[in-house]
Amino acid sequence: MDDLLERLHVVSLPMRVRFRGITVREVALIEGPAGWGEFGAFTEYEPTEAAHWLSSAVEAAYRPAPVPHRDRIPVNATVPAVPPEQVPEVLARFPGARTAKVKVAEPGQCLADDVARVEAVRALVPTVRVDANGGWSVAEAVAAAAALGELEYLEQPCATVEELAEVRRQIDTPVAADESIRKVVDPFRVVALGAADIAVVKVAPLGGVQRLLVIAARIGIPVVVSSALDSAVGMSRGLLAAGCLPELPYACGLGTGGLFVEDIVDPVAPVDGRLPVGPVVPDRARLTALAAPPERRQWWIERVRRCHALL
């Protein structure tokens, strides 16, 4: 524990647009003997959930990385719940992307807002998927699927596995599960109940690359590796996991670095819609410039202590 805390850097990354209700992303980075790890569980998460994120950071910092099968990963553009007139500006940060994931079901917005945003994206990108983050009822999800037109898939339309299964029975659009995999004790229940066609998996919430690969191998449906609004350090672990999968049928949600005004390294733009697999070493000057205030660093230290006790 002492060694881990000595290696800890806490940074505040300003964002270009509000995403998940925040405009500044705080993460703790661990400079370990095997590389850099990221502990970035969202601040509202309790220790029992956040401990998985710490486990992922410890894996990256202290354990050798697996060898990937591929060195470049196709990524989707990520479009927050912005007005349609801002869509071209957002998509410009994802050069070459042929797939876009659009946030929908934003609190304070309505289905008409979602439809307008999706149509603006569809005018520029051929393949569109949407993510509701569990924000709809079954009836709302069914109505949205009809109103939004052809989609690659509808991600986490409702909160519970049972609701996902009901939506899947009522619509033709494929259903993807995210929170119903990473926020539950049994990540395989979505398949057992026929609740999803696709599994969205994220390294940090699942406890690391190795844990993600185990789940992907056993779950029995195609997987999409996605980010959890990671810095470049965390994103590198998602790209590594995607590179280690035997098959990669869908573009991955690993291009969210474009949502940050500043990151701990120079941004790497996708080339032909793909990002490279490889380790990331933060820039020392950026670590200093983006360092969180002392009181926030102490908050993260205490959080690490609480989570570490649960590992």
Q: Model confidence over 73-89: pLDDT tens digits? A: 999 999 999 999 999 99
**pLDDT mean over 13-40:** 93
| Ranges 149-153, 178-182, 187-191, 198-202: which has the least confidence | 178-182
Say how many C-beta atoms besides its own lie within 10 A of residue 170's C-beta.
13
pLDDT of amino acid 217: 96
Q: Model confidence over 96-119: pLDDT tens digits? A: 899 999 999 999 999 999 999 999
Name the amino acid, one letter, at 234. G
Write the CA distances from 309 to 32, 54, 300, integer angstroms.
Answer: 19, 11, 14
Burial of 112 (0-12, 13-18, 19+ CB in 10 A): exposed
The overall average pLDDT reported for the chain is 95
Q: Give the end-to-end CA distance of the chain in Å, rounded to a whole number.
A: 11
Q: Is the pLDDT of residue 304 over 90?
A: yes
Contact 158, 171 (CB under 8 A): no
Local confidence band at 168 (pLDDT 50, 70, 90 cut-offs) = very high
pLDDT of amino acid 21: 80
Q: Hey, what are 223's tokens?
A: 């997987």
3-state secondary structure of 289: helix
Q: Is the pLDDT of residue 184 over 80?
A: no
Q: Model confidence over 211-266: pLDDT tens digits? A: 999 999 999 999 999 998 999 999 999 999 999 999 999 999 998 888 899 999 99
Per the annotation, binding residues are: 131, 155, 178
Active site residues: 103, 202
Contact 205, 180 (CB under 8 A): no
Q: What percent of the chain has pLDDT over 90?
A: 89
| Ranges 1-10, 36-45, 253-262: which has the least confidence | 253-262
3-state secondary structure of 25: strand
Q: Which domains, ranges and CATH numbers included, belong to the chain?
A: 1-65+284-309 (3.30.390.10), 72-276 (3.20.20.120)
Per the annotation, binding residues for Mg(2+) are: 131, 155, 178
| Whether this model's pTM surpasses 0.85 | yes
Name the amino acid, one letter, at 1. M
Distance of CA 17 to the CA centre of its chain: 16
pLDDT of amino acid 193: 95
pLDDT of amino acid 256: 84
Q: Is the pLDDT of residue 163 over 90?
A: yes
- Residue whose token pair is 């209700």: 21
pLDDT of amino acid 84: 97
pLDDT of amino acid 186: 87
Q: How far apart are CA 38 and CA 9, in angstroms?
A: 9
Q: How far apart are CA 34 and CA 13, in angstroms?
A: 24
Q: Hey, what are 235's tokens?
A: 């994103």
Backbone angles phi, psi at 61, to 5 degrees: -80, -30
